[in-house]
Structure 1
Amino acid sequence: MEAIRNIAIIAHVDHGKTTLVDKIMYHCHLFRDNENTGDLILDNNDLERERGITITSKNVSVLYKGTKINIIDTPGHADFGGEVERVLNMADGVCLLVDAFEGPMPQTRFVLQKALDLGLKPCVVINKVDKENCTPEEVHEKVFDLMFELGAEEWQLDFPTVYGSAKNNWMSDDFNVITENIEPLLDMVIENVPAPKVSEGTPQMLITSLDFSSFTGRIAIGRLERGVLKEGMPISLVKRDGKITKSRIKELHTFEGLGRKKVQEVIAGDICAIIGVEGFEIGDTIACFDNPEALQTIAIDEPTMSMLFTINDSPFFGKEGKFVTSRHIRDRLTKELEKNLAMKLG
């Protein structure tokens, strides 16, 4: 079996997740030396470029020291927390990125709670240690306190940590020692994130994400929990409500670099994309054709809008005054003009 590590990168918005993934891809030579791909490579749609934030999760894989590392770049904004929760089901560990100046932020708490509840191994990266007035040691203590407060188990509290600057392309076990690359981070992932647990039995894959192609239609994405999937293989689609429909896999793809690679079969533990299955939704299970067994489904939050109504604590609260309208402004300007004109004529 190929050595595989599945890891999700989680953090508060603008703490440097996508920049770190850029540096990992460059270090693992996904691009030619003369290829200029720019920054924030995975933020590839117009809205993400405009806002400067990650909105949808992205999958990318790199090969490092003979190990395939599937990396899931997750959104950092609280509005997209539901997607983070879903894609964490594909990971065996999380890389928690924390700003060395700001420390753990609200979204850090939310996504970390989900990761700990799923029993994922945390690896901590304290980023931006080159900032002025940053406190890496204090931030490390705050991360430990946060994990303890969130109910982390003892083996989760024993988390490894690296320090560095993703923007300047270095990571180190000691924030006072600047290295030449980000290898300490990749070594930490291989040594501490467990390999996927593989069970014996018929195929099972929980659909945790989806994609779309104008040529092939909707694409189901998830991690194969057990068994083997093959191109052209008949399968059963077990819906969230228990209904079972029969289908067939037209194409299988695994993630390779920034794109996907068409393969004949996928082994358990790897993240893959399936083309040809109709009528699926997130939370459905792809299972054996003859003896389908469903995996535990995942909850999908309905789109909501939250509003907070509080008392008026404005400094002008309780003070009497008149409403100012465009007519008042126009009358005032007219009076000022007449006054200035009279002064000039006089």
Structure 2
Amino acid sequence: MRDIRNIAVIAHVDHGKTTLVDELLKQSGTFTAHQEVEDRVMDSNDIEKERGITILSKNTAIDYEGVRINIIDTPGHADFGGEVERVLKMVDCVLLLVDAQEGVMPQTKFVVKKALQLGHRPIVVINKIDKPGGDPDRVVDEVFDLFDQMGASEEQLEFPVVYAAARDGYAKLDLAEPNENLIPLFTTILNEVPKPKGSDENGLQLQVFTLDYDNFIGKIGIARIFNGTISMGETVTLVKADGEKIKGRVTKLIGFKGVDRFDIKTAGTGDIVAVAGFETIDVGDSLCDPANPMPLDPMHIEEPTLSVTFAVNDSPLAGTEGKYVTSNKIDERLNAEMNTNIAMNYEQIGEGKFKVNGRGELQICILAENMRREGFEFSIGRPEVIVREIDGVKMEPFEHLVIDTPDEFSGAIIEKLGKRKANMTNMVPMGSGYTRLEFEIPARGLIGIRTEFLTETKGEGVMNHSFLEFRPHSGTVESRKYGALVSMENGEAVGYSIFNLQDRGIMYIKPQDKVYNGMVVGQHAKGNDLDINPIKAKQQSNVRSSGADEAIKLVPPRVMSLENALEWIEEDELVEVTPISVRVRKRDLDPNVRKRTAKKVKFAD
């Protein structure tokens, strides 16, 4: 049996996981001298590269001093917690990265809790020790306190600590040592990570932890072998989570090294491989020895907390910018997404309407962003939290919210969150002019708050949250304070008209943008909606004045990104998404219908 170590790199978002994996790949000699390697090589998806975040957990393998080290890079964002949870079951140890300045953050707590429950003894890597505001000793104490709070065992509390600056490619076991390379980290991994349990002699037990899809070979399950061996062309039994057994043949067996995938003939205990040949394979399924199938426990995946309605675009500009506009195409694409993304699900709820359930706004935004880049055109409704009924009581998801803000804005933040039913649990001065605030808040209260929060803190605040639990429904939450400026005409916007409307609020359009009746073209300065005419041009007259016309000065419009638009809209509005534009519109385009509906709602209240 080969000498193997299986580790996952876990941390809060932006603490340097992917950068560390990059350096491990480079310094282990995985890339040849002439091979060109880009930064954050594990972030393969366009959106991951642009935003600098990891969305999908990915695995790689390196060989160091004759030992095969399988590394899984995981997302740090709470919305992708489902990805992290599964991965932790596949490894024997975790590298817990903590930023030397920020210390323990909400997502750190989430991943640590999962890792400790599974019995892992983490290797703690204090990263970014080169930061001027870094305080590695304080952060080690924070990590110890966190482990203690989470009920860690004596052995888990004796965790090894490595100090690193992943970007500069060095690690050390003592802060006084010189900055050289990552050898101290490699040595710690070889000494501290347990070897895989199990044996090649036992019957096959392999469990799938993530999915991939290939147009030629179909669904691919990426899995860890806990016992036995598997070979290309072998007949094995697939055991589903509900106990159903399906016999099938392994049509392709794929191994990993660096960023490459290649076909292999056979693999044994402790290996992480990709297996093809089973169309119904899913996360948590086991592949077993047909003579004596002994499946592993199915995985528990955290349930979705947010739902959004995707629908066919029916605005007057429908079909003018997108390539795929029919409900069949949207259905196909959502189905393909669910093939590989198990933290989401969807159902058809009407003609051309699909309800998509996910773990958070970011996760749903990324699906929508990917779809628009592929040429899809559709509309999205306002995100809603999924309310459950437990023992006859309406329960809603609550989140643990952590905010780091400059001291002078903390009062305004506390007031704003109080109106959204947030309950403050902790307030700690962080030094250097910052305060950390901790809240428990209904997930509904977080919808639409990010933009307001950034405005309130002048872009200097940092906000993070992770799912806490379901609690009894907490009544109504304050929503948007401002009304919408709604176009009452179809056509192209005119500079003269926009100039005259600027005093009414913030405009979202510029001259020559296409507008239609019922489209939201700006944010009203008051609380009510206002119908306006943005296509009215200046009339010519017979009287010519001696003075020239006054020059109009236009304020640049606020450009709405997909995330801003989803946060901003109310119940009666939709976001129209096309490969070229993101527009906000009223659900009912006819102003008379809107007035009648508003009267009914008022009457009902």
Inter-partner Cα distance in structure 1 for 2:57 and 2:191:
25
- Aligned residue for 1:22? 22
What are the ranges of 5 or more consecutive residues in structure 1 without an aligned counterpart? Answer: 316-320, 335-340
CA contact (8 A) 1:164 1:175 kept: no
- Aligned residue for 2:121? 121
Offset at 1:302? 3.7
Inter-partner Cα distance in structure 1 for 2:246 and 2:482:
67
Inter-partner Cα distance in structure 2 for 1:161 and 1:333:
58
Equivalent AA in structure 1 for residue 219 of structure 2: R
Inter-partner Cα distance in structure 2 for 1:299 and 1:204:
18
Offset at 1:222? 1.1
- 2:244 aligned with 1:136, yes or no? no
- Aligned residue for 1:222? 223
Where does 1:301-340 land on structure 2 (aligned, <5 Å)? 301-305=302-306, 311=419, 330=500
CA contact (8 A) 2:85 2:301 kept: no
Equivalent AA in structure 2 for residue 96 of structure 1: L
Inter-partner Cα distance in structure 1 for 2:213 and 2:155:
39
List per-residue Cα deviations over 1:148-196 (Å, max 9, x = no partner).
1111111111111110211111100112323211111111111001000
For residue 211 of structure 2, give the secondary structure of its aligned residue in structure 1.
Answer: strand
List per-residue Cα deviations over 1:75-98 (Å, max 9, x = no partner).
000100011000111100000000
- 2:273 aligned with 1:268, yes or no? no
Relative distance call for 1:293 and 1:168 in structure 2 (3 A) is same
Inter-partner Cα distance in structure 2 for 1:33 and 1:26:
10
CA contact (8 A) 1:171 1:178 kept: no
Relative distance call for 1:100 and 1:325 in structure 2 (3 A) is same
Inter-partner Cα distance in structure 1 for 2:275 and 2:502:
68
Inter-partner Cα distance in structure 2 for 1:176 and 1:6:
30
- 2:196 aligned with 1:196, yes or no? yes
Matched residue pairs, number?
331
Relative distance call for 1:22 and 1:225 in structure 2 (3 A) is same
Equivalent AA in structure 2 for residue 292 of structure 1: P
Where does 1:107-186 land on structure 2 (aligned, <5 Å)? 107-186=107-186
CA contact (8 A) 1:164 1:178 kept: no
For residue 205 of structure 1, give the secondary structure of its aligned residue in structure 2.
Answer: strand
- Aligned residue for 2:99? 99
Equivalent AA in structure 2 for residue 229 of structure 1: I
Task: State the structure with bigger RCO (CA 8 A, min sep 6), 1 or 2.
Answer: 1
Inter-partner Cα distance in structure 1 for 2:140 and 2:78:
23
For residue 89 of structure 2, give the secondary structure of its aligned residue in structure 1.
Answer: helix
Relative distance call for 1:26 and 1:244 in structure 2 (3 A) is same
Offset at 1:322? 11
Deviates more, 1:64-73 or 1:280-289: 280-289
Equivalent AA in structure 2 for residue 182 of structure 1: L
Relative distance call for 1:247 and 1:175 in structure 2 (3 A) is same
Inter-partner Cα distance in structure 2 for 1:31 and 1:73:
18
CA contact (8 A) 2:203 2:288 kept: yes
Inter-partner Cα distance in structure 1 for 2:34 and 2:41:
16
- Aligned residue for 1:337? none
Relative distance call for 1:332 and 1:94 in structure 2 (3 A) is closer
Inter-partner Cα distance in structure 2 for 1:243 and 1:29:
44
- Aligned residue for 2:244? 243
Equivalent AA in structure 2 for residue 298 of structure 1: M
- Aligned residue for 1:280? 281
Offset at 1:260? 2.1
Offset at 1:290? 2.4
- Aligned residue for 1:296? 297
Structural RMSD (CA): 2.6
Offset at 1:121? 2.0
For residue 83 of structure 1, give the secondary structure of its aligned residue in structure 2.
Answer: helix
Inter-partner Cα distance in structure 2 for 1:183 and 1:128:
17
For residue 242 of structure 1, give the secondary structure of its aligned residue in structure 2.
Answer: coil
- Aligned residue for 1:87? 87
- Aligned residue for 2:35? 35
Offset at 1:331? 7.5
Equivalent AA in structure 1 for residue 133 of structure 2: N
Inter-partner Cα distance in structure 2 for 1:206 and 1:135:
40
Offset at 1:228? 1.1
CA contact (8 A) 1:54 1:75 kept: yes
Offset at 1:141? 0.7
Relative distance call for 1:332 and 1:115 in structure 2 (3 A) is closer
Inter-partner Cα distance in structure 2 for 1:156 and 1:239:
33
For residue 243 of structure 2, give the secondary structure of its aligned residue in structure 1.
Answer: coil
Inter-partner Cα distance in structure 2 for 1:161 and 1:237:
41
Relative distance call for 1:10 and 1:332 in structure 2 (3 A) is closer
Deviates more, 1:154-163 or 1:33-42: 33-42
Relative distance call for 1:333 and 1:233 in structure 2 (3 A) is closer
Deviates more, 1:51-60 or 1:253-262: 253-262
CA contact (8 A) 2:88 2:115 kept: yes
Deviates more, 1:219-228 or 1:26-35: 26-35
Equivalent AA in structure 2 for residue 9 of structure 1: V
Where does 1:7-18 land on structure 2 (aligned, <5 Å)? 7-18=7-18
Offset at 1:47? 1.1
What are the ranges of 5 or more consecutive residues in structure 2 without an aligned counterpart? Answer: 307-359, 361-384, 386-397, 399-416, 422-451, 457-480, 487-496, 505-546, 551-605
Inter-partner Cα distance in structure 2 for 1:185 and 1:93:
14
Offset at 1:310? 5.2
Inter-partner Cα distance in structure 2 for 1:152 and 1:93:
15
Inter-partner Cα distance in structure 1 for 2:286 and 2:236:
10
- TM-score, length-normalised on structure 2? 0.52
For residue 130 of structure 1, give the secondary structure of its aligned residue in structure 2.
Answer: coil
Offset at 1:34? 3.0
Offset at 1:292? 1.3
List per-residue Cα deviations over 1:223-274 (Å, max 9, x = no partner).
1111111111111111111111111111212222212232221111111111
Inter-partner Cα distance in structure 2 for 1:258 and 1:267:
21
For residue 164 of structure 1, give the secondary structure of its aligned residue in structure 2.
Answer: strand
